[in-house]
Chain A
Amino acid sequence: MVKGKHVILTVFVVVVGILAGVFCFQSEGKKIKKQFRLLSKQASKDHHENNFTTARKARDISKLFAEQCEFRAHITSISGSHTRQEISELAARARLPFSRLSIRFYDLHIEFSEKKTARVTVTAQASGTLRGGDLVDDTLELECSLQKHDDKWLFTAIEVVEVLEK
């Protein structure tokens, strides 16, 4: 009887341990996904956005990045290391020509390479309307590095992957 109780207790402890492990692992993944959701929300824009909201969104976008973030892209104007302030200005400049903009992220693949470091491969789709009325639709694959600071995952590097090389 005592032996039976021990078996049940051991199984219970193992199951709880596995569930706790799975929960902890998922929660980090969920936190990273939340950062992408926030980036999508802050980067997107609708027709009614006023100047105050534009400024707030540019500032909020920069809060998702680390103090220094490295951009690697074929667009040479944004390649390099940028501070939060510079990211805020870049975001404001990039959103300015659009009257409507939607940024969506698909197929997030998260790898935890080191402690407090994650590497995310993701498809980013930008669609919108320029102030002149022209439609814009572009899709990119991004390789992002994120680091955990004070329980928040912040972007430390973003690289545009060249899917089709001309």
Chain B
Amino acid sequence: MAVRKKFHQFIFPSPTPKAIIRMVLVALSAYLFFGHICIPLRIKGSSMEPTYGDKSINFCWRLRYIFSAPLQHDLVLVRFAGNRVMLLKRVVALEGETVEFRGGKLFVDGVEVDEPYVRYPCNWNLPPRRVKKDCVYVVGDNRNMSIENHNFGQASIKRIAGAPLW
């Protein structure tokens, strides 16, 4: 009974100055954490299938690339003007490397890249192009669509907002 009362008091505290300060601190921490550090995401679309399905839930971990740069095969979130809408993509090439698609196969610097995460058939052809300085080349895992309908390409590292939490 005492435990239940304590639990009730913890969840619905009396409006004492201490409880109000605690509530303000909790609200502020939640705002900072979920608004700027670990942003909730609802994935929309099928460009990352089967790794991430349409309408699945995840978080953008903003601290992922504070002390390091994205590497090949990393999953990243590319921001637009802000953090409300982001693109979830996979890094396939880094700055200075040459990217090419031949018969659906990815080639980086002329060497075919093994991509176990690509499960669906792909027939893309893209002439070679060099990734610019301070940029990474990102593509979705689902390439079972025409190359024109898939949103991919090189993005500035400054646009990498973070990585999905899982």
Tell me if B159 and A123 are in contact (CB < 8 A): no
A139 on the interface (CB 8 Å rule)? yes
- Give the distance in Å from the alpha carbon of A59 to the alpha carbon of B45 in the complex: 33
- Which stretch, A18-26, A62-70, A158-166, touches the partner chain B? A158-166
Q: Is the interface of A mostly helix, strand, loop or mixed?
A: strand
B3 on the interface (CB 8 Å rule)? no
Tell me if A107 and B152 are in contact (CB < 8 A): no
B154 on the interface (CB 8 Å rule)? yes
Tell me if A141 and B153 are in contact (CB < 8 A): no
- Give the distance in Å from the alpha carbon of A123 to the alpha carbon of B80 in the complex: 6
Tell me if A137 and B85 are in contact (CB < 8 A): no
Partner of A163, one of B44, B80, B83: B80
A residues in contact with B45, CB < 8 Å:
137
Closest Cβ neighbor of B44 among chain A residues: A137
Tell me if B84 and A123 are in contact (CB < 8 A): yes
Knowing A137-B44, A163-B87, A164-B138 are in contact, say whether A109-B81 is a contact too (CB < 8 A): yes
Tell me if B159 and A106 are in contact (CB < 8 A): no
Tell me if B82 and A164 are in contact (CB < 8 A): no
Tell me if A139 and B80 are in contact (CB < 8 A): yes
Say which size band chain A's interface belongs to: 10 to 19
Tell me if B80 and A164 are in contact (CB < 8 A): no
Closest beta carbon of chain A to B116's beta carbon, Å: 23
Tell me if A123 and B87 are in contact (CB < 8 A): no
A121 on the interface (CB 8 Å rule)? yes
A residues in contact with B80, CB < 8 Å:
106-107, 123, 139-141, 163
New A-B pairs, 10, CB < 8 Å, besides A139-B80, A140-B80, A142-B81 = A107-B83, A121-B81, A123-B80, A123-B82, A123-B85, A137-B45, A141-B81, A162-B153, A163-B159, A166-B129
30 contacts between A and B (CB under 8 A): A106-B85, A107-B82, A107-B83, A107-B85, A108-B81, A109-B81, A109-B82, A121-B81, A122-B81, A123-B80, A123-B81, A123-B82, A123-B84, A123-B85, A137-B44, A139-B85, A139-B87, A140-B80, A142-B81, A163-B78, A163-B80, A163-B155, A164-B78, A164-B87, A164-B153, A164-B154, A164-B155, A165-B153, A165-B155, A166-B126
